[in-house]
Chains A and B, each alone.
Chain A
Amino acid sequence: MSRPASNAAAKPVFKWHILVFLAPAVLVYTAVMIYPLFNTLRLALYTTIDRERVFAGLDNFRTLFGDPNWSGQFWNALGNNFWFFLIHMLVQNPIGVALAAILSSRRLRFAALYRSAIFIPTILSFVIVGFAWKLILSPIWGIAPGMLDAIGLKFLYAPWLGKEEYALTTLALVSVWQFVGIPMMLIYAALLSIPDEILEAGECDGITGMAAFWKIKLPLILPSIGIISILTFVANFNAFDLIYAAQGALAGPDFATDILGTFLYRTFFGFQLQLGDPNMGSAIASAMFGIILIGVCLYLFVIQRRLRSYQF
């Protein structure tokens, strides 16, 4: 290693150590992420005829978007997925920001207790959350009808998970309940990183209380909100667990809670009388990948460039 410096400057040496240090991560990531991803995309181009896998080009996609039996289900699932995402954006993220703003207030007592309490559902398993809420809302054994009855609001109760018009919204709100801790924590961290000098400078100019939040803090945490939005988008379009735990893979009632994840599961692995079809399943997975890719690109190239970040 004792090379003369002049020599190195004259002839750039290939930096082997970079490769060596990158290799473990690259190899593991390739083996468990990149290879399966491309293999799924490849599988979507094949079909099974007489138990032989044959190349079929874009036939699976033609079936998925062209055959009314498939496309009806696909658009239904996609529409439901957008609604699921919309509820998260409209309910989860504003509540998360509000909670973080309240928690970061210096006058609040027991802040650590609230923070933990709100964050705990996030670490619960989907299965527990799904079953617990299913029981809470159950018209037969649940505590929801009784609690509403106790405050004289029994007429507001409906078997929410069993009605086509409410089921998806109910599940989206359950998911919001579970995950509201994540935006709260991220925004909370962003709020804490705002230096006191800036706020104090604002105070000197007469900006205090709510005005300080809207005019100083909110612009400074916008990049964090952007990141949260894109995380929500990816998580929602990959969602599956909660719906499966609460409603099963048929995503009842009458497919009202069917999202791309459950549609993929039903197609790929089969359910009840439906047999699994890995090729059509891969086609759906590829479509999901495409949708998420487009969403993330839109964010990166259209929104994130307009966000200004500040260095303190």
Chain B
Amino acid sequence: MKRTTLKTILLASTLLAGGAAWADDVTLSIESWRNDDLSIWQDKIIPAFEAANPGIKVKFTPSAPAEYNAVLNSKLDAGSAGDLITCRPFDASLALYDGGKLSDLTDLDGMKNFSDVAKSAWSTDDAAHTFCVPMASVIHGFIYNKDAFKAIGVEPPATVDEFFAVLDKIKADGTYIPMAMGTNDQWEAATMGYQNIGPNYWKGEEGRLALIKGTQKLTDEDWVAPYKQLAKWKDYLGDGFEAQTYPDSQNLFTLGRAAIYPAGSWEISGFNGLVDFEMGAFPPPVQVAGDTCYISDHADIAIGMNAKTAHPEETRKFLDWVASPEFATLYSNALPGFFSLSNAEVKMEDPLAEEFVSWRSKCKSTIRSTYQILSRGTPNLENETWNASAAVIKGTETPEDAGKRLQEGLASWYAPQK
């Protein structure tokens, strides 16, 4: 009697559990480092998907940007990662694909909406397999305070000489800090400094690919010259820039205390809500007027599928939607400054974002020099570049020494550079 009761209870519980699972919607969760975008995903992007796909719920669960790579790796190893994985460009994601953590998405329908260049950041070296759906790229340049420029009477500079002339004038005027950047967090110096102005010196893709092939070295003039310009920035940064953090710089600019902000386009959406002056943007100045300009149009963010997901079908459905022109328009306008990599025509509403994206037709695009292949070994070239850029701006290392140190580090493990 007792035994039968137990059996009945067990049976009932199994049925209940089964029934409950059947009635539930499938919930997919997204791993991401974009915790700034939480409300945009929750209020705009996810509702649009859920409305079109009843029965699938999506949760956006970001972690801190600085810890994302490490957290994601441990979660994937432990099997507790979400169904959808936001992909960093190049080696970080390639390592995950090679390690069997990300699924191959080459045959996903939506992939036809992307050019090979857009897919290159998330494809194997031979371009045979693509494992993340490209979402957006970010463009580097300088955002400036239009009111400040008008008050001082300067125009956005086109050449390096004009650029320093403008900085001198702002400094002489004294109302504004000429440029808002600090070296405390290091990556700003490299990303918004070196990788921002550098492509004009190493001629974008030409120099970047030559470095990968080993025909150019980091000690070459093209690669040291950007450091020489950075070393001159020192005099135009605010007092105590050595201890100035990234949020400090953002605040200095949005509070109207600094005139120029070396930027990535991802700042646009954040800045729009904070400033009470008009913002403009200019691309990194060229050396001589009339030179071809190069911009860093860096494929930055994509999304892939956890190979161990329990809901592969629903996950692919979501990814297909991410690849659609509908998502491209929604995303680019919800987050001005993140430019869709899709071939689809996207209408931009934000004037500042429009300005950034217009450089694509005037200048040649390239990606950050250290991301593809060159940061696979130890010492990691990207990490070293952060450190070198910060040291050069502070004046604790000369541009030539920085180039020499980076070249030695790279040559220590990268065969074509030996």
The interface stretch among A16-24, A114-122, A157-165, A282-290 is A157-165
Knowing A160-B243, A272-B66, A272-B69, say if A140 contacts B382 (CB, 8 Å): no
The 8 Å CB contact of A270, one of B69, B251, B387, is B69
Is B74 close to A, CB under 8 A?
A: yes
- Mask of B69-92 contacts with A, CB within 8 angstroms, 1/0: 110011000000000000000001
Is B366 close to A, CB under 8 A?
A: no
Is A51 close to B, CB under 8 A?
A: yes
Q: Please state if B243 and A274 are interface contacts (CB–CB under 8 Å).
A: no
Knowing A139-B240, A248-B66, say if A273 contacts B383 (CB, 8 Å): yes
Determine the chain B residues whose CB is within 8 A of the CB of A271 once the complex forms: 66-67, 70
Is B37 close to A, CB under 8 A?
A: no
Distance from A91 Cβ to chain B, minimum over Cβ atoms (Å): 22
Q: Please state if A162 and B184 are interface contacts (CB–CB under 8 Å).
A: yes
The interface stretch among A80-88, A172-180, A226-234, A249-257 is A249-257
Considering only CB atoms, which chain A residue lies closest to B101 in the complex?
A51
Is B394 close to A, CB under 8 A?
A: yes
Instruction: Kindly identify, within residues 254 to 301 of chain A, every residue whose CB is under 8 Å from any CB belonging to chain B.
Output: 254, 269-276
Instruction: Report the interface size class on chain B.
Output: 35 or more
The 8 Å CB contact of A159, one of B92, B241, B251, is B241
Considering only CB atoms, which chain B residue lies closest to A165 in the complex?
B396
Q: Please state if B183 and A140 are interface contacts (CB–CB under 8 Å).
A: no
Determine the chain A residues whose CB is within 8 A of the CB of B137 once the complex forms: none
The distance in angstroms between the C-alpha atoms of A162 and B181, with both chains bound, is: 13
Determine the chain B residues whose CB is within 8 A of the CB of A69 once the complex forms: 378-379
Determine the chain A residues whose CB is within 8 A of the CB of B184 once the complex forms: 161-162, 252-253
Q: Please state if A253 and B69 are interface contacts (CB–CB under 8 Å).
A: no
Distance from A216 Cβ to chain B, minimum over Cβ atoms (Å): 47
The distance in angstroms between the C-alpha atoms of A163 and B396, with both chains bound, is: 10
Considering only CB atoms, which chain A residue lies closest to B380 in the complex?
A273
Knowing A138-B248, A139-B238, A162-B184, say if A273 contacts B375 (CB, 8 Å): yes
The distance in angstroms between the C-alpha atoms of A140 and B251, with both chains bound, is: 10
The 8 Å CB contact of A138, one of B185, B243, B382, B391, is B243
Q: Please state if A139 and B243 are interface contacts (CB–CB under 8 Å).
A: yes
The distance in angstroms between the C-alpha atoms of A69 and B239, with both chains bound, is: 33
Determine the chain A residues whose CB is within 8 A of the CB of B185 once the complex forms: 248, 252
The distance in angstroms between the C-alpha atoms of A164 and B240, with both chains bound, is: 13
Is A137 close to B, CB under 8 A?
A: yes
Q: Please state if A254 and B243 are interface contacts (CB–CB under 8 Å).
A: no
Is B123 close to A, CB under 8 A?
A: no
The number of residue pairs between A and B whose CB atoms lie closer than 8 Å in the complex comes to 91
- Mask of B39-81 contacts with A, CB within 8 angstroms, 1/0: 0000000000000000000000000001101100110000000
Q: Please state if A253 and B390 are interface contacts (CB–CB under 8 Å).
A: yes
Determine the chain A residues whose CB is within 8 A of the CB of B244 once the complex forms: 138-140, 159, 162
Determine the chain A residues whose CB is within 8 A of the CB of B183 once the complex forms: 162, 253
The 8 Å CB contact of B383, one of A159, A254, A272, is A272
Determine the chain A residues whose CB is within 8 A of the CB of B73 once the complex forms: 270, 275-276
Is B19 close to A, CB under 8 A?
A: no
Instruction: Kindly identify, within residues 319 to 362 of chain B, every residue whose CB is under 8 Å from any CB belonging to chain A.
Output: none
Instruction: Kindly identify, within residues 284 to 343 of chain B, every residue whose CB is under 8 Å from any CB belonging to chain A.
Output: none
Is B186 close to A, CB under 8 A?
A: yes
Instruction: Kindly identify, within residues 151 to 170 of chain A, every residue whose CB is under 8 Å from any CB belonging to chain B.
Output: 158-164
The distance in angstroms between the C-alpha atoms of A138 and B239, with both chains bound, is: 10
Most buried by B among A139, A273, A274: A273
Distance from A37 Cβ to chain B, minimum over Cβ atoms (Å): 21
Most buried by B among A140, A160, A161, A270: A140
Q: Please state if B70 and A140 are interface contacts (CB–CB under 8 Å).
A: no
Q: Please state if A51 and B187 are interface contacts (CB–CB under 8 Å).
A: no
The distance in angstroms between the C-alpha atoms of A276 and B70, with both chains bound, is: 6
Is B242 close to A, CB under 8 A?
A: yes
Distance from B98 Cβ to chain A, minimum over Cβ atoms (Å): 10
Considering only CB atoms, which chain B residue lies closest to A278 in the complex?
B74
Q: Please state if A162 and B74 are interface contacts (CB–CB under 8 Å).
A: no
The 8 Å CB contact of B240, one of A51, A158, A252, A253, is A158
Q: Please state if A137 and B379 are interface contacts (CB–CB under 8 Å).
A: no
Considering only CB atoms, which chain A residue lies closest to B412 in the complex?
A69
- Mask of A173-204 contacts with B, CB within 8 angstroms, 1/0: 00000000000000000000000000000000
Q: Please state if B187 and A272 are interface contacts (CB–CB under 8 Å).
A: yes
Determine the chain A residues whose CB is within 8 A of the CB of B102 once the complex forms: none
The 8 Å CB contact of B242, one of A141, A159, A248, A275, is A159
Considering only CB atoms, which chain B residue lies closest to A157 in the complex?
B240
Determine the chain A residues whose CB is within 8 A of the CB of B273 once the complex forms: none
Is B252 close to A, CB under 8 A?
A: yes
Is B174 close to A, CB under 8 A?
A: no
Is B99 close to A, CB under 8 A?
A: yes
The distance in angstroms between the C-alpha atoms of A269 and B68, with both chains bound, is: 11
Q: Please state if B396 and A275 are interface contacts (CB–CB under 8 Å).
A: no
- Mask of A121-147 contacts with B, CB within 8 angstroms, 1/0: 000000000000000011111000100
Determine the chain A residues whose CB is within 8 A of the CB of B379 once the complex forms: 69
Considering only CB atoms, which chain B residue lies closest to A158 in the complex?
B240
Instruction: Kindly identify, within residues 40 to 69 of chain A, every residue whose CB is under 8 Å from any CB belonging to chain B.
Output: 51, 69
Determine the chain A residues whose CB is within 8 A of the CB of B396 once the complex forms: 164, 254
Q: Please state if A51 and B242 are interface contacts (CB–CB under 8 Å).
A: no
The distance in angstroms between the C-alpha atoms of A269 and B99, with both chains bound, is: 19
Determine the chain B residues whose CB is within 8 A of the CB of A269 once the complex forms: 67, 70, 74
Determine the chain B residues whose CB is within 8 A of the CB of A145 once the complex forms: 240
Q: Please state if A162 and B67 are interface contacts (CB–CB under 8 Å).
A: no
Distance from A180 Cβ to chain B, minimum over Cβ atoms (Å): 24
The distance in angstroms between the C-alpha atoms of A252 and B244, with both chains bound, is: 12
Q: Please state if A140 and B390 are interface contacts (CB–CB under 8 Å).
A: no
Considering only CB atoms, which chain A residue lies closest to B95 in the complex?
A275
User: Top 9 A-B pairs ranked by shortest CB distance?
Assistant: A139-B240, A162-B242, A162-B243, A270-B70, A159-B240, A159-B243, A161-B243, A159-B242, A276-B70
Show 19 residue pairs from A and B whose CB-CB distance is below 8 angstroms, ordered by the A residue. Answer: A51-B99, A137-B243, A138-B244, A139-B240, A140-B248, A161-B243, A162-B242, A164-B396, A248-B66, A249-B66, A253-B390, A270-B70, A270-B73, A272-B66, A272-B187, A273-B92, A273-B382, A276-B70, A276-B74
B residues whose Cβ falls under 8 Å from a Cβ of A: 66-67, 69-70, 73-74, 92, 99, 182-187, 238-244, 248, 251-252, 375, 378-380, 382-383, 387, 390-391, 394, 396
| 13 further contact pairs, Cβ within 8 A, besides A139-B241, A162-B240, A163-B242 | A140-B239, A145-B240, A159-B240, A159-B244, A160-B243, A254-B391, A270-B69, A272-B69, A273-B69, A274-B70, A274-B380, A275-B69, A276-B74
